[in-house]
Amino acid sequence: MSNADRRNRIEDDVFSYRATKNGMVLISWQGKQVTMLNGKQAERFLAQIAGLNDHSAQLAMAKATGNFKRGNQRLSQQSDKSSGQD
C-alpha cells in the first residue's frame, strides 16, 4: 500500500467535484465545498482526472484541496450546533 492513503479514508469516496459552465471546478468533501479552482488550474485538474479510476480520482481531489482541515473546521462545526443546524 502506498503512503498516500495509509488510513484508507479515501476508500469512502469523500471527495466530489463539479465543473461549472464558466470553467470553474468546485471540489467538495463530504458534501461541503472546500476548494474552488479556476483558469489553468481547473483545466489541468479536469485533464488529469479524466481517465482516472475512482481511487486515483479521490487522491487527485485530495491533493487539489491541499491541507484544508487545519483549524477552521472545528469552529464551523461549533457554529452549526449553536445555530441549530446539524
Residue 3 pLDDT: 52
Contacts of 65 (CB under 8 A, 6+ apart): 15, 27, 29, 34, 35
Let me know if 7 is exposed, middle or buried by CB neighbors in 10 A (0-12, 13-18, 19+): exposed
Question: At 24, phi and psi to the nearest 5?
Answer: -90, 155
pLDDT grade, residue 85 (50/70/90)? low
Percent of the chain with pLDDT over 90: 35
What is the pLDDT averaged over residues 59-72?
A: 76
> Does 81 have pLDDT greater than 60?
no
pLDDT grade, residue 28 (50/70/90)? very high
d(CA 54, CA 56): 6
Helix (H) or strand (E) holding 56: helix 54-65
- The model carries a pTM of 0.68
